[in-house]
Chain A
Amino acid sequence: MTRAVDPEGRAERFIALEEHESTHDRLVWGMRQNRDKAVAGVPEWEELREQASQIKEHTLTHLDQYLEQFEANATNLGAHVHWARDAEEHNAVVYEILQAHRVKSLIKSKSMLQEECGMTPYLQKRGIEVTESDLGERIQQLSDEPPSHIVVPAIHKLRSDVAALFAEKIGTDPKDSDPHSLTEAMRQNARPKFIAADAGMTGANFAVAETGGFVVCTNEGNADIGTSVPPLHVASIGIEKLIPRARDLGVFIRMLSRSALGSPITQYTSHFHGPRRGGELHVVLVDNTRSDRLGSPDFWHALKCIRCGACMNTCPVYRRGGGLSYGATYSGPIGVILDPGFDLSKYRELPFHSSLCGSCTEVCPVKIDISDQIYKWRPIVAAKGMLKLSKKVGMSALGMTLAHPAVFHAAESAAESALEHLPRFLPYNPLNPWGRHRDLPTVPKQTFRQWYLENRRKS
């Protein structure tokens, strides 16, 4: 078994950083509030959600047709379409394309798929310089950390953290933590890299079967620079990103940024159909467990995800513990239901890193039953024998106690005695997590059942 990621421990360490946690919770909750305001401006929002969900379900239940249609149309427009079964094959295919074009340095915009495949370290090991162009991703790249949020990758950092990081890595003034000067410094630092890059890489938010093109949504326009300047554009696209028609974009584009940040649209909604004048375009369609998940009745709906991040914004657990506590490419509620599908052993604790409040399900623009899926992963972890030993033993004991009335009643009496008579340090100790930040309940003189017998069942 792989060593498991410990989201609880990581979350605890983030919560201990009071300024980081309180800022993070406030900012990310603010994104949820902005989403609410934006939704108020779209009276037909619930109908749009239903449409978006059905369009995605239709596509996924006809995915083979749409993949073939996309490939044919993209090829007709002059794009080169490649296929990759898994992460390793994706990286190899990308490397081959870059090698054929003698690429020494490339600049990329955000792609969760490329992150998932570990593409950047793979290419760097083979001597290709890879620069993230999105500000948040670049901050994370310079910190040697993965992104903590799908849309705002460095939202867990304070401006002082970024100031210190930039001072060390790009030579800015460590005392200047004004986001304006930091952003300007990154603009000046990144521009020459765009100009010098041999290739630009992107992901894709949507791939349109009817037209053979794909759409990339950014606020910085970094995907647009990266694809309009270097002569080579390579796009990595997960097979679940397909949608049938151009007109379907109307539904998704209206929902994406409203769900993510609360603005009606991202600053740049960029559509690519074949290579630009003077350029070459390669598209890599990637499976990497998606076809497996398609075959799972309980979990295939997760493939509808449009990567908006609304679920993490609303998640009370995500906002307190931070995105790095998930230890995976995908964090937040969507991460909880995707990551165990990539590596159940490594991510066996994630399904329990949730209070099952259900808010994620309510904000998801494509109506993924996220909270239900989180619940469904739990018996799978248990059935594989991957529960923490203490939980396994505890639940077994609890199950036996509650199955037998007499045992249950005896346990209640024992607890009453224990809590009444034991010195405080015994229940309040490191082995009893309840007592770290909360007082224990007092035990009443009678249980309800005892009261009932005394007061209602005279016979």
Chain B
Amino acid sequence: MNARDAILAAVRNNMPQPAVPLPEIPGSEWKGVKHGLGYKEHFTRLPEVPGAPGVNEPLLAYFRLQLEAMGGRSFEAADATAARAKVAELFPDANVVCSAVSEVPGTRRVEDVRDPHELNDVDLGVVRSPLGVAEAGAVWLTQAELVVNALEVLSQHLVVLLDPAAVVETMHDAYGQIDLAASPYGVFLAGPSATGDIEGVIIHGAQGARSLTVLLLAPQATAGGSG
């Protein structure tokens, strides 16, 4: 008998009885982070979460708060020109800028990269995220946006463009919107790379990006410019 059959046979033989049904997770009737998610009627008697948005309140401020708590930062940008200016202001010494977005062209186009090893010298990576999650301060990135996945983690610094209207409230909302199997790689990125392994001291820039900057800008029509 091969390993697969042996394991499945052992599992079938040992599965506990009675079987436990799969619980339904509440769907669209979200009451929001502030008041709990409507799991049980008594949620309205639970304490509120300070700073969190109520039902129908805008999510963006909370997203920015949580992102900051995770070690990231965010700025508004009126248009592509403002975005480019902000990037130049924040990273004046960046030599190799590899961009996956037309709004902020860099010195290298990610589409031109043949092998991920080539990205080892990137000072600044620029990508766009299709989705932000407020409760986690996280942005969603897949192979579609990154083109070369390593751009996200080899860049010394990372700038992520995000449409401020594309922010959902909770991880439940996020998983409800994305199609996981559609991309070989997908990451919820919340802030820069971090560690607390040495005496619990939080350090940013452990292995991946040293900083994460979100520029709040809806997708612009092709801004022109090469690179």
Contact A179/B201 with A211-B180, A250-B172 known, Cβ cut-off 8 Å:
yes
- Chain A: minimal CB distance from B204 (Å): 9
A273 touches B181 (CB 8 A): yes
Which residue from B13, B22, B193 sits with its C-beta under 8 Å from A58? B22
Contact with B along A82-98 (1 / 0, CB 8 A): 11110001000000000
Which residue from B150, B171, B206 sits with its C-beta under 8 Å from A250? B171
Q: Hey, which chain A residues are within 8 Å of B198, CB to CB?
A: 135, 139, 154, 157, 159, 162, 179, 182-183
A219 touches B36 (CB 8 A): no
Binds A, one of B41-49, B86-94, B123-131, B216-224: B41-49
A266 touches B207 (CB 8 A): no
Instruction: Give the interface centre of A136, A162, A263, A285 by most chain B CB atoms within 10 Å.
Output: A263
Binds A, one of B1-9, B53-61, B75-83, B96-104: B1-9
Which residue from B3, B13, B143 sits with its C-beta under 8 Å from A295? B13
* Smallest CB gap from A137: residue in B: B197
- Chain A: minimal CB distance from B202 (Å): 9
B149 at the interface (CB under 8 A from A): yes
A228 touches B150 (CB 8 A): yes
A224 at the interface (CB under 8 A from B): yes
Contact A261/B180 with A239-B11, A248-B25, A285-B7 known, Cβ cut-off 8 Å:
no
CA distance A247 to B191 in the complex (A): 23
- Chain A: minimal CB distance from B225 (Å): 26
B205 at the interface (CB under 8 A from A): yes
* Smallest CB gap from B188: residue in A: A269
Q: Hey, which chain A residues are within 8 Å of B174, CB to CB?
A: 250
Q: Hey, which chain A residues are within 8 Å of B135, CB to CB?
A: 254, 264
- Chain A: minimal CB distance from B7 (Å): 5
Contact count band on B: 35 or more
A220 touches B15 (CB 8 A): no
CA distance A155 to B71 in the complex (A): 22
Which residue from B6, B43, B208 sits with its C-beta under 8 Å from A224? B208
Q: Hey, which chain A residues are within 8 Å of B165, CB to CB?
A: none
B166 at the interface (CB under 8 A from A): no
State the main secondary structure of chain B at its contact with A: loop
Contact A58/B180 with A64-B8, A224-B152, A264-B135 known, Cβ cut-off 8 Å:
no
B215 at the interface (CB under 8 A from A): no
* Smallest CB gap from B8: residue in A: A64
B132 at the interface (CB under 8 A from A): no
Contact A51/B195 with A27-B200, A211-B181, A278-B115 known, Cβ cut-off 8 Å:
no
CA distance A243 to B172 in the complex (A): 15
Q: Hey, which chain A residues are within 8 Å of B201, CB to CB?
A: 159, 179-180
B15 touches A191 (CB 8 A): no
Binds B, one of A36-44, A348-356, A449-457: A36-44
Which residue from A244, A264, A277 sits with its C-beta under 8 Å from B143? A277
Q: Hey, which chain B residues are within 8 Å of A103, CB to CB?
A: none
Contact A89/B3 with A58-B23, A61-B20 known, Cβ cut-off 8 Å:
yes
A268 at the interface (CB under 8 A from B): yes
CA distance A425 to B188 in the complex (A): 64
24 contacts between A and B (CB under 8 A): A44-B39, A61-B15, A61-B19, A63-B15, A67-B7, A84-B3, A135-B195, A155-B197, A184-B205, A187-B205, A211-B180, A224-B149, A225-B153, A227-B185, A228-B149, A228-B154, A264-B135, A267-B71, A268-B188, A271-B186, A272-B185, A273-B182, A276-B143, A276-B149
A58-B20, A67-B11, A221-B207 given; 9 more Cβ-contact pairs under 8 Å: A47-B36, A135-B198, A221-B208, A228-B116, A267-B191, A267-B192, A267-B193, A278-B115, A291-B13
